[in-house]
Structure 1
Amino acid sequence: MSLEDEQDPTAYDRTYVLDNRLTLQWYPERVAAMAQAGSMLELGLGHGYSTEYFAKTFQRYRVIEGSREMIDRFKEHFAIEGMDIVQGHFEDFETDERFDAIGMGFVLEHVDDPAAIIRRYARFLSPGGSIYIAVPNAESLHRRLGNAAGLLPDIGALSPADLEFGHKRYFTLESLTAMVENEALEIRKVEGLLLKPITTQQMIDLNLSEAILQAMLKVGVDYPELCNSLLIQASRSAQQ
């Protein structure tokens, strides 16, 4: 299935705009800083932030997208050359091509079997290539504070907004690394995406300066366990 099969395509446009602007523009920058600028395969168009960035960064860039509606919306807002969009479900995609980078940015929280997705796409890595996985973190600082204050009794619980977005789960740093390693991949790097101490609405109400918002991104890189989202680079071992 596509992650859009159970997701309202306009939901992210209505809420959490600040989170999206920060995280989804920072994520491709961090991936590009780790990756070799050869070929990339990305799962999902999402909002188009990473798509636009990666199309300019990689020499060869393909995107798999299951939703015709998402493809049409993307083409309405972006005119990007040098990329190839393939319509199809993640679970069914096949190719003889091998890629230096495979992007799974905010995909695994949507799918039925995230481990199976990792297993399938690891086959498409070129020698020395890496998978880049970004997911929401159940144990982010603002969720930890909410839990300690009694406002979020279950730190891993999905909110009504999560369900509207098509989320099926949160991850922790421990659960994500265990899942990746169980698929015979070696973790090369772990980073945090957005050190978020308070809720999105509180951030908006405080009218934080752009300098502070950017600092929350930069400082968060070294504190993944506290960040709003986790970013992992993983590769096949040299023996495979």
Structure 2
Amino acid sequence: MMNEEKTRLADIASQSLYCAGVNRDTIVHCFDIFKRFMNNGSILEMGPAEGIMTDLLVDLPNSLTVVEGSEIFCQSLTKRHPSINVVHALFEEYKPTQKFDNIILGHVLEHVEDPVDILRHARNWLTPTGQILAAVPNSRSLHRQAAVIMEMLSFEEQLNEPDRHHGHRRVYNPETYRRDFLAAGLKIKQFGGYWMKPLSNKQIEDSWSPELLKAFMTLGERYPDIAGEIYVVAGL
């Protein structure tokens, strides 16, 4: 089973589009939000992929460890950031030798087979005052609601072509997202959203200015229920 998952991750990594176009902007904005809530102290980033978030975390005055299931991504991260601890392992295999003040899961829980189990693992790796900061796409995003009305999707949580390309196994809504944290025995300190997304990535990339894109990233913070991305800050 573990070997099958590693093969799956290798296939996804070989054609990954996480750092392409608007996707990069969403990760950068997510980092800006997480930075508001982060503790001083150690950081574990789970599933960094190409390392867009890693490139920003590495500049913070915190010790940084990343755990990634794709060997391709691990090799790239090690070459780019030789000072950080890069661990090539599935989350289920990972055995940290320390506990962490911050655990980052940026666009991870929509990928894994059992997100509650992964959150339980992460909970056990927290210091007593540590917290998990996690973000995922939101099925209630305006562009998904429009797709249902246009009959491009049969319902908001249906996986679309980009979801399948990225290896998503589910699309969360705000309720199901909070549910999984509570089921893992975590306390939710903060729930929010960002990125008011009315159109597809391609439509936005073809015609939007950087200033307009930034405005809509921020606008999503005002309306988390229908934002393109949702996040949770949780602790023990």
Indicate if the aligned counterparts of 1:4 and 1:166 stay in contact, CA closer than 8 A.
Answer: no
Indicate if the aligned counterparts of 1:41 and 1:103 stay in contact, CA closer than 8 A.
Answer: yes
Q: Within 5 A, what are the aligned runs for 1:72-111?
A: 72-75=75-78, 78=80, 80-111=81-112
Say whether 1:160 aligns with 2:158.
no
1:75 deviates by: 4.3
SS of match in other structure, 1:135 = strand
1:117 deviates by: 0.2
- 5+ long unaligned stretches in structure 2: none
Partner residue in 2 for 1:183:
184
Q: Distance in 2 between matches of 1:193 and 1:49?
A: 17
Q: For 2:42, give the aligned amino acid.
A: S
Q: Distance in 1 between matches of 2:83 and 2:37?
A: 21
Say whether 1:234 aligns with 2:210.
no
Say whether 1:36 aligns with 2:39.
yes
1:3 deviates by: 7.4
1:31 deviates by: 0.9
Q: Within 5 A, what are the aligned runs for 1:177-216?
A: 177-205=178-206, 207-216=207-216
SS of match in other structure, 1:57 = coil
Say whether 1:9 aligns with 2:10.
no
Q: Aligned residues, how many?
A: 232
Partner residue in 2 for 1:171:
172
SS of match in other structure, 2:13 = coil
Indicate if the aligned counterparts of 1:40 and 1:58 stay in contact, CA closer than 8 A.
Answer: no
Q: Distance in 2 between matches of 1:4 and 1:48?
A: 20
1:45 deviates by: 2.4
Indicate if the aligned counterparts of 1:3 and 1:111 stay in contact, CA closer than 8 A.
Answer: no
The counterpart of 2:57, out of the listed 47, 50, 54, is 54
1:16 deviates by: 7.9
SS of match in other structure, 2:54 = helix
Indicate if the aligned counterparts of 2:190 and 2:234 stay in contact, CA closer than 8 A.
Answer: yes
Partner residue in 2 for 1:64:
67
Indicate if the aligned counterparts of 2:77 and 2:86 stay in contact, CA closer than 8 A.
Answer: no
RMSD: 1.9
SS of match in other structure, 2:190 = strand
Q: Which 4+ stretches in 1 moved above 6 angstroms?
A: none
Mean Cα displacement is larger for which, 127-136 or 16-25? 16-25
Indicate if the aligned counterparts of 1:16 and 1:200 stay in contact, CA closer than 8 A.
Answer: no
Deviations 1:136-169 (CA, angstroms, capped at 9, x unpaired): 1111111112212333222111123322211111
Say whether 1:128 aligns with 2:132.
no
Q: For 1:178, give the aligned amino acid.
A: R
Q: Distance in 2 between matches of 1:182 and 1:165?
A: 26
Say whether 1:45 aligns with 2:62.
no
Q: Distance in 1 between matches of 2:112 and 2:164?
A: 13
Change (3 A) 1:104 1:85: same
Among all aligned residue pairs of Structure 1 and Structure 2, give the percentage whose two residues are the same amino acid.
28
Indicate if the aligned counterparts of 2:191 and 2:232 stay in contact, CA closer than 8 A.
Answer: yes
Q: Distance in 2 between matches of 1:228 and 1:3?
A: 29
